Structure 1
Amino acid sequence: MKAVVLAAGEGTRLRPLTEDKPKGMVEVNEKPILTHCFEQLVELGADELVVVVGYLKQKIIDHYGDEFDDIPITYAHQREQKGLAHALLTVEDHIDDDFMLMLGDNVFRANLEDVVRRQREDRADAAFLVEEVPWEEASRYGVCDTNKYGEITDVVEKPDDPPSNLVMTGFYTFTPAIFHACHLVQPSNRGEYEISEAIDLLIQSGRTIDAIGLEGWRVDVGYPEDREEAEARLKSENIDAETDSERSIES
């Protein structure tokens, strides 16, 4: 399965960290965010990384070259940042089967493999992780509305008045049907082509969609304080791992 990573964004909310580098090259625990993404995708069995670049793209290309851990990298250029659905369409010619999609500004330590497995088992056109966030944070994300049975009935991007606090995280698997939906997406009130709108079109057309609850954690690195949170979590995990290793040796 190929893995698409969206990394074209400028990261204006992360300034000054992004004044001389794209968002994906901001370091968290001494590694660029993209390295964390690539490592996770390789663990999931990605046989090719298709990376969408834009702002200061050469910084990414020069750093990673044409492979990561012996997995080939293909680059696609989003010339204007017009939203995630627009970014996804830049890789359409590179994808001919089911694929993983990760947003290149997220750090995950979560059950990503459950998304891949469920999508394959259910032959779903889309599967993604969801999590409940504090209500005041929901408007930062694609928000899922559900019926009384807990089924997702629609998805709305960054609403002023969120219908719930259940949000999509930055990891998905899709069939190529998502590209047709992206072509149908109209600009949102923000003037962007939203991936949430494409997923909503799949839902409204009766396609099989799987939403899997997040187990573990993830941090969407949108602000400097998010970077600090992700770094603190990773350092804490490293300390715990070292402690467990020492206990194992002693026993």
Structure 2
Amino acid sequence: MVDSLSTALNLAFTGPLAGTRALEGVIITGGKGTRMRNITYVLPKPLLPLFSFNSDGRRYVKPFIDFILERFEALGLDPVTLVFSRNSSLIIDYLGSRGPLRLRLRLVLDAEMRGYGNAALLARSSVTGPFVLNADDNILPLEDYRAGVELFEAEGPDAVLFVHRVEDPTRYGVIAPSSQGEFRGYRTYGVRGVVEKPSKPPSDLAMAAIYVMSPRVFRALEEVKALKGEGEEIELVEGLQRLIEEGGNVMALELRRRWVSVGRPEDYLEAIRLSYEAGL
């Protein structure tokens, strides 16, 4: 059923382009949402409701994935690849009834569900050039996305990461910075390593699950996958570390405020507050 829905959705959402920028977009959905149970047994994270504002200032409620899609539209990312699992039928149903998008949407099925890195690798069949990769439970202010894209275009690295200083870096993926710079009012870093939830963090700079990348990351992820056992999960951080070890140029842009997340109950509560008070 999901396969037939994906074909219909792809046809329904092919429309006028949002811009001429060469970058594409990738959204990874279909995770298990274990940190947001029990609600994610019946409602996937991308459909969790938040507040927004009409043009006349009145509040209304919309699902989280709309905030991601609207940012991608504003950035001119096109096409956008949505990597989904067979647990994502509600997301597909919603997108099919949502109304037209100002971008082309391509769907790629993740039948293996072997982690964020493997889901990103599956997008390789659809992606043709540099892209913005976004988890289904994180967003940034639009100006931060723009700064990351502009840094990628200006400096030409293999990847740009978005980072923010946190009190407990053992809960996050963290970078090991090698140098510090500045780009349009943002602090930037060269990255000599990345590690997921380290017991001894190399810094307090935690990564958002949002990246600007060149297709070179796919080769690194493929090499990581070749070393894994059957069914073993592949994390994107492993691919980034492999890319760095092979001489890839990875940079980080420090955010002025933490990304918005619906990945944990405390994060979702804060997202509700922010969206109700001022919008996202």
Q: In which range does the TM-score fall when normalised by the shorter chain?
A: 0.7 to 0.9
Counterpart in 2 of 1:54?
85
CA contact (8 A) 2:29 2:85 kept: yes
**Please, which of 39, 53, 70 is the counterpart of residue 70 of structure 2?**
39
Corresponding position of 2:16: none
Moved over 6 A (4+): none
Do the aligned partners of residues 216 and 163 (structure 1) sit closer, same or farther apart at CA in structure 2, a change above 3 Å counting?
A: closer
Cα distance change on mapping 1:7 and 1:204 into 2, 3 Å? same
Give 1:150-165 correspondences, 5 Å limit: 151-165=190-204
Structure 1 position 53, deviation (Å): 1.0
Retained in 2: the 8 A contact 1:92–1:179? yes
3-state SS of 1:229 partner: helix
- Contact 2:220-2:240 within 8 A present in 1 as well: yes
| Contact kept? 1:130, 1:168, Cα under 8 Å | yes
- Structure 2 portions without partners, runs of 5+: 1-22, 52-60, 181-188
CA deviation profile, 1:218-240 (whole Å, cap 9, x unmatched) = 123222221110111122224xx
TM-score using structure 1 length:
0.86
Percent of pairs with identical residues: 29
For each residue in 1:98-124, what CA deviation from the matched residue of structure 2 results, as whole angstroms up to 9, or x when unmatched? 111111111322511111111111111
Q: Distance in 1 between matches of 2:139 and 2:128?
A: 27
The 3-state SS of whatever aligns with 2:129 is coil
Q: 2:162 is matched by which residue type in structure 1?
A: L
Q: Is the 8 A contact 1:9 1:55 kept in 2?
A: no
Aligned match of 1:139: 170
User: Deviations for 1:182-230, whole angstroms, at most 9, x for unmatched residues?
Assistant: 1011449xx4211111111221222222211112441232222211101
- Distance of aligned partners of 1:123 and 1:223 in 2 relative to their CA distance in 1, 3 Å threshold: same
Cα offset, 1:6, TM superposition: 0.7
Counterpart in the other structure of 2:111: 79
Given that 1:48 and 1:71 are in contact with CA atoms closer than 8 Å, whether structure 2 keeps it comes out as yes
Aligned to 2:223: 184
Alignment gaps of 5+ in structure 1: 242-251
Give the corresponding residue for 2:252.
211
- 1:237 alignment counterpart: 278
Secondary structure in 2 matching 1:134: coil
Alignment of 1:102-141 (within 5 A): 102-109=134-141, 111-135=144-168, 138-141=169-172
* RMSD of equivalent CA atoms: 2.3
Tell me the distance in 2 between the aligned counterparts of 1:164 and 1:187: 28
